[in-house]
Amino acid sequence: DDSILIWEGERQESQLFPIIKTYEDHRMAMAFAPAVIRHPNIGIADPYVVSKSYPYYWEDLKQVGVHIYEEK
């Protein structure tokens, strides 16, 4: 079964390139970022919200081998 369960409890087709919404919350970006290790096609919307608490977060993830690129 290639689907996911969304918050409303409805079955949806899985997305090939899911985008995580941060809702302007740095914790959302930081919590989901490590998921790219297992699922490399995940995107983080508004990734710079992390600058509030950890300005070099993305650079540090690159240092440990996580491949990060910005798409405009």
Return d(Cα 26, Cα 22) in angstroms, integer: 7
3-state helix vs strand vs coil in the chain, percent to 5: 35, 15, 50
Burial 40-56 (b: 16+ CB within 10 A, else e): eebebeebebbeeeeee
Question: What are the structural domain ranges in the chain?
Answer: 15-63
The dihedrals phi and psi of 31, each to the nearest 5 degrees, come to -70, -40
pLDDT tens digits along 36-63: 888 888 899 999 999 989 999 999 999 9
pLDDT digit string, tens, across residues 9-33 = 567 677 788 899 999 999 999 999 9
CA distance 45 to 15: 15
Whole-number pLDDT of residue 36 = 85
